[in-house]
């Protein structure tokens, strides 16, 4: 009598790179969309996840690739992803639902609302911000996410010793990040890929690496010698993100939208 074959695993790939976890039988799917975040105060994280655990936040999470991997491999952490684009959040929630995850939630919300209103002070163990939009049109420069005021909010949202991660493939943005982020965090530039994802943590990073483009990475802990009030005052004195984003790089934005669909 031949032994029964183990059931076939359903592994999803993006540009040939596996997405963490496997697609389960629909009877084991979960619901991971945060559809109605509170309008008048911060999230009740213990009620949202049904427990108290270290929180990993991904601001501008896109299709959720990084956060899904973290949720799969770190079940002892809770995860919250947010993006202003409903279409990418639909991708993210579908993937999380199909993997039966209970330690992750996704919301259609902009980064400012997430940091300023929804995250309680000191709630996050980690905040990740991968490939924030550089906005090439001068009229949209005001929409750039990484500003001194945003960094002050990230500093407020992190628990003592909490980690801030940032990554971009835009040289102008990186020069600005290197100038302002160390005012709020003990910041260190990372040379080379993240060890947990040598082919890329995010969809955007995979595309950039496939095309041989440089990707700039760094992380740091929230400065303990900087009070929340001092962080706000510092943010008011630092320059805004006015830099040349180099319009020649816009092609990568187009490729991110259309490749691999």
At 189-229, the pLDDT tens digits run 999 999 999 999 999 999 999 988 899 999 999 999 999 99
Q: pTM above 0.85?
A: yes
Whether 6 maps to a domain, the answer reads no
How would you classify the pairing of strands 216-222 and 185-190?
A: antiparallel
Question: Does residue 165 lie in a domain region?
Answer: yes
Count of Cβ atoms closer than 10 Å to residue 160 Cβ? 8
Query: Containing domain of residue 52, as a range?
Result: 30-258
In tens, the pLDDT along 227-239 reads 999 999 999 999 9
C-alpha closest to that of 126 among 176, 198, 196? 196
Instruction: Express each pLDDT in 92-125 by its tens digit.
Output: 999 999 999 999 999 999 999 999 999 999 999 9
Q: What is the pLDDT of residue 250?
A: 75
Alpha-carbon gap, residue 1 to 73, rounded angstroms? 37
17 lies in some domain: no
Angstrom distance (rounded) from CA 250 to CA 258: 13
Distance linking the first and last C-alpha atoms of the chain: 44
Is 249 within the bounds of a domain? yes
What is the structure's pLDDT at 249?
A: 74
> CA-to-CA distance for 118 and 63, rounded, in angstroms?
21
pLDDT number for residue 138: 87
Number of domains into which the chain is organized: 1
Indicate whether 22 pLDDT > 70.
Answer: yes
The CATH number for 44's domain is 3.40.50.150
Please state, in angstroms and rounded to a whole number, the distance separating the CA atoms of residues 61 and 51: 23
Residue 22 covered by a domain:
no
- Is residue 2 a part of any domain in this protein? no
**Is residue 3 in a domain?**
no
Give the pLDDT score at 255: 66
Least Cα distance to 109 among 133, 81, 135, 134 occurs for: 81
| DSSP calls for 112-148 | HHIIIIISPTT-EEEEEEES-----SGGGGGG-S--H
pLDDT tens-digit readout, 117-148: 999 999 999 999 999 999 998 889 999 999 99
Contact 225, 216 (CB under 8 A): no
The model's pLDDT over 164-198, given as tens digits with 9 standing for 90+, comes to 999 999 999 999 999 999 999 999 999 999 999 99
The answer to whether residue 16 sits within a structural domain is no
């Amino acid at each position: 009598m031949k032994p029964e074959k183990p059931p076939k695993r359903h592994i999803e790939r993006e540009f040939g790179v596996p997405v963490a976890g496997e697609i389960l039988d629909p009877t084991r799917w979960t619901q991971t969309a945060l559809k109605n975040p509170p309008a008048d105060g911060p999230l009740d994280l213990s009620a949202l996840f049904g427990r108290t655990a270290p929180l990993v936040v991904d601001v501008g999470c896109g299709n959720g690739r990084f956060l899904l991997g973290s949720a799969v491999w770190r079940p002892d952490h809770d995860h919250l992803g947010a993006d202003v684009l409903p279409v990418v959040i639909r991708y993210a929630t579908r993937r999380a639902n199909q993997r039966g995850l209970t330690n992750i939630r996704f919301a259609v919300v902009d980064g400012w609302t997430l940091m300023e209103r929804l995250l309680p002070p000191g709630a996050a163990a980690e905040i990740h911000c991968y490939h924030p939009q550089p906005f090439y049109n001068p009229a949209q420069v005001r929409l750039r996410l990484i500003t001194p005021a945003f960094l002050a909010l990230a500093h407020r949202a992190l628990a003592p010793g909490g980690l801030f991660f940032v990554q971009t493939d835009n040289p102008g943005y990186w020069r600005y990040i290197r100038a302002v982020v160390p005012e709020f965090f003990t910041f260190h530039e990372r040379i080379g890929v993240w060890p947990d994802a040598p082919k890329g943590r995010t969809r955007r990073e995979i595309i950039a690496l496939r095309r041989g483009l440089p990707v700039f990475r760094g992380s740091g802990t929230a400065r303990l010698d900087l009070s929340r009030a001092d962080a706000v005052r510092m943010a008011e004195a630092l320059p805004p993100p006015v830099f040349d984003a180099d319009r020649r790089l816009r092609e990568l934005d187009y490729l991110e939208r259309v490749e691999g669909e």
